[in-house]
């Protein structure tokens, strides 16, 4: 690259290429499902903030580049490369790369050099299309304006998607040159393009189709918002929708409900349809949606609704848990192994009060702490879930045993799982002990994030404890982390507000960090953190006016899992 402005071209292309190669070598891993649920979602979540930045960021001094080593450069960068690959096809994609490497060998390049190579071999206006994706911040939400089953065409409107649903003067001026991929259960239409604010796209194979989905395959980093009749068909036909698109439908529905574009009741109806889900990548996205809702509901709504929601989550996860169980089987494929880990993490969150589950977890945890360096004592795939349930169930006794095991165990991953469990402690006394342990010298500086991250995500009390701790121990934390790695310290800033859902807490977090000398180095991380808290606060207000705020809605949801 010619200068740091084009950092994304190195990192984003590597992000895509590592996934592409893995998929070609190990197609049984279904790694693009994981990519859509993890890498693409990380990009969309960060890029939905006003405090985000374009993929191509003007860098005046090399020191400024540290702040853009983030999910935009890596994950959004990789996502737009994936989009280009889908638009060009493999032949033109490869020919363009060959031309680019040949033309610029032994020299530095800019992003436009790659666009020009792909444009030359394909005849497509790649430069025009991609400038809207790399030079301007954010991405669009594609709103379906009609029911295409009655017209044969999909009417679309694009607008800048923001996580908080805010609108300011000038927002509507943003337009993306957006590829549109529409499909039904009968087939996929050719790639179309939406170049203006609104447009119509032909939708083939509607005759006899059960559903229609925009952004089929999740190849384009956008959100999609459907009218209720089209959404209902998707929910009614979840089993016929590929895993990547089930992941996309989940994430889009949660995000558009949170932003105020869709009725929050949509997410209740959609989640209910996943009670028979057994794909581990889809379950990862399910868990993310449930976790996001839990934070909002438990802190923002009444206790009855919170209890009903947690019971709903328990009923949703138990069928998958009964299917997969605790132990690996010789017949397990890659999906089964991933499903067990993901589902048991959800079990640890929503079912830990079940006597049979807590007893089994405690038994397995005791076997581990008795011989922590014996890899056969506890399967690593379920270790974190076992530790979490045990700490929540047994309190003081097993907390101490896990500390002892931490000091003995040599496996770094096992230590990180212990940190995660210590952060889930239920009492104020144990939370304080966990945070004291974090600064005791027993935890490596690069691992100091794990206990507060787990604690801040565990609920209101945990989030309060972490923020209080950071205020009280700021100097020590900065001395250990900030003086050696500002990137790690920026993560601490993010964790300080990750569990909050009120404007008052947003103000408190913002005021605390702004008063510190380090503020100039964490300004972007703080802005993103505060914006996320305010977005959560607005979501609380939106939920209060929907059926999702009522306990009976969640109580009956599993029985009414089809619209």
d(CA 361, CA 385): 8
Are residues 518 and 442 part of one domain?
Answer: yes
The answer as to whether 286 is a domain residue is no
The answer as to whether 333 is a domain residue is no
Are residues 66 and 180 part of one domain?
Answer: no
The answer as to whether 474 is a domain residue is yes
d(CA 269, CA 417): 34
- Long-range contacts: 334-338, Cβ < 8 Å, 24+? 334/28, 334/29, 334/30, 335/30, 335/278, 335/279, 335/280, 336/280, 337/280, 337/381, 338/280, 338/281
- Long-range contacts: 190-197, Cβ < 8 Å, 24+? 191/86, 191/87, 193/129, 194/142, 194/156, 194/158, 197/157, 197/158, 197/159, 197/172
Tally of domains within the chain: 4
Domain boundary among 384, 403, 422: 422
Does the pTM exceed 0.85? yes
Q: What is the CATH number of the domain that holds 99?
A: 1.10.390.10
d(CA 118, CA 112): 10
Are residues 12 and 126 part of one domain?
Answer: yes
Angle at 88 between CA 87 and CA 90, to 5 degrees: 120
Q: What is the CATH number of the domain that holds 163?
A: 2.60.40.1910
Are residues 128 and 33 part of one domain?
Answer: yes
Name the residue among 337, 313, 311 with its Cα closest to residue 325. Answer: 337
Q: What is the mean pLDDT of each run of 10 residues along the chain (563 residues)?
A: 66 93 96 97 96 80 59 90 96 96 88 93 93 94 93 93 94 96 91 95 82 97 97 96 98 98 94 96 97 95 95 97 96 95 97 96 97 94 97 90 97 97 96 97 95 96 98 95 86 96 98 94 93 97 93 85 42
Are residues 449 and 483 part of one domain?
Answer: yes
SS3 144: strand
Are residues 482 and 416 part of one domain?
Answer: no
The answer as to whether 553 is a domain residue is no
Are residues 231 and 146 part of one domain?
Answer: yes
Angle at 549 between CA 289 and CA 230, to 5 degrees: 60
- pLDDT tens digit string along 421-432? 999 999 999 999
Angle at 263 between CA 42 and CA 214, to 5 degrees: 55
* pLDDT on residue 563: 39
d(CA 247, CA 253): 10
- pLDDT tens digit string along 306-344? 999 999 999 999 999 999 999 999 999 999 999 999 999
* pLDDT on residue 397: 86
The answer as to whether 291 is a domain residue is no
Are residues 167 and 102 part of one domain?
Answer: no
The answer as to whether 326 is a domain residue is no
Where would I find the H helices in 351-502? Answer: 355-370, 380-394, 396-408, 412-422, 428-438, 450-456, 460-472, 474-477, 486-497
Determine if residue 533 is left, alpha or beta; phi over 0 gives left, psi from -120 to 50 gives alpha, anything else beta.
alpha
Q: Which residues contact 538 (CB under 8 A, 6 or more apart)?
A: 164, 165, 260
Are residues 492 and 405 part of one domain?
Answer: no
Are residues 128 and 10 part of one domain?
Answer: yes
Are residues 491 and 444 part of one domain?
Answer: yes
Distances (CA, A) of 297 to 151, 196, 294, 311: 39, 38, 5, 13
Distances (CA, A) of 162 to 54, 96, 168: 14, 34, 11
Is residue 519 within 8 Å of residue 527, measured between CB atoms? no
The answer as to whether 86 is a domain residue is yes
The answer as to whether 418 is a domain residue is yes
Domain boundary among 206, 225, 240: 240
Is residue 117 within 8 Å of residue 103, measured between CB atoms? yes
Count of residues making up the chain:
563
Are residues 9 and 127 part of one domain?
Answer: yes
Torsions phi, psi for 425 (to 5 deg) = -55, 140
Residue span of the structural domain in which 160 resides: 140-240
- pLDDT tens digit string along 217-257? 999 999 999 999 999 999 999 999 999 999 999 999 999 99
Domain boundary among 134, 153, 176: 134
């Amino acid at each position: 690259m010619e200068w740091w402005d084009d950092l994304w071209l190195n990192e984003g292309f590597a992000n895509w290429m590592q996934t592409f190669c893995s998929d070609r070598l190990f197609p049984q891993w279904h790694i693009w499902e994981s990519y859509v649920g993890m890498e693409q979602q990380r990009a969309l979540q960060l890029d939905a903030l006003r405090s985000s930045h374009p993929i191509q960021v003007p860098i005046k001094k090399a020191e400024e580049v540290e702040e853009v080593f983030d999910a935009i450069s890596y994950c959004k960068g990789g996502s737009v490369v994936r989009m280009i690959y889908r638009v060009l096809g493999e032949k033109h994609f490869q020919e363009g790369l060959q031309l680019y490497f040949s033309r610029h060998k032994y020299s530095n390049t800019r992003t436009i050099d790659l666009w020009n190579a792909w444009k030359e071999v394909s005849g497509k206006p790649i430069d025009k299309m991609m400038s809207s994706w790399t030079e301007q911040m954010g991405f669009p939400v594609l709103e379906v304006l009609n029911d295409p089953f009655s017209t044969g065409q999909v009417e679309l409107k694009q607008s800048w998607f923001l996580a908080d649903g805010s609108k300011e003067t000038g927002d509507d001026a943003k337009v993306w040159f957006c590829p549109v991929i529409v499909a039904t259960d009968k087939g996929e239409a050719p790639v179309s393009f939406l170049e203006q604010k609104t447009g119509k796209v032909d939708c083939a194979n509607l005759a006899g189709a059960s559903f229609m989905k925009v952004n089929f395959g999740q190849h384009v980093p956008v959100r999609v918002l459907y009218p209720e009749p089209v959404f209902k068909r998707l929910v009614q036909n979840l089993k016929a929708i590929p895993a990547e698109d089930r992941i996309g439908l989940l994430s889009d529905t949660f995000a558009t409900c949170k932003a105020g574009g869709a009725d929050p009741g949509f997410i209740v109806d959609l989640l209910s349809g996943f009670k028979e889900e057994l794909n581990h990548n889809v379950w990862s996205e399910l868990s993310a949606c449930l976790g996001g809702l839990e934070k909002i509901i438990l802190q923002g709504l009444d206790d009855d609704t919170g209890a009903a929601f947690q019971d709903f989550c328990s009923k949703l996860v138990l069928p998958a848990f009964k299917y997969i169980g605790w132990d690996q089987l010789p017949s397990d494929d890659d999906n089964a192994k991933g499903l067990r880990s993901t589902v048991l993490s959800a079990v640890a969150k929503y079912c830990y009060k079940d006597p049979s589950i807590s007893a089994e977890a405690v038994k397995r945890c005791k076997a581990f702490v008795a011989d922590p360096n014996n890899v056969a004592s506890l399967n690593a795939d379920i270790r974190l879930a076992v530790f979490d349930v045990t700490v929540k169930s047994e309190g003081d006794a097993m907390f101490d045993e896990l500390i002892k095991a931490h000091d003995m165990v040599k496996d770094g991953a096992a230590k990180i799982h212990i940190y995660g469990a210590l952060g889930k402690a239920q009492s104020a006394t144990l939370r304080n002990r966990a945070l004291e342990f974090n600064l005791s010298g027993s935890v490596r500086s690069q691992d100091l994030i794990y206990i507060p991250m787990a604690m801040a995500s565990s609920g209101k009390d945990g989030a309060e404890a972490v923020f209080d701790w950071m205020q009280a121990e700021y100097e020590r934390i900065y001395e250990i982390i900030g003086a050696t790695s500002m990137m790690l310290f920026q993560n601490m800033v993010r964790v300080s507000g990750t569990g909050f859902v009120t404007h008052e807490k947003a103000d408190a977090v913002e005021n605390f960090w702004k008063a510190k000398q380090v503020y100039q180095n964490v300004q972007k991380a703080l802005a993103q953190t505060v914006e996320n808290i305010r977005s959560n606060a607005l979501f609380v207000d939106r939920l209060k006016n929907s059926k999702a705020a009522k306990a009976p809605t969640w109580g009956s949801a599993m029985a009414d899992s089809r619209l």
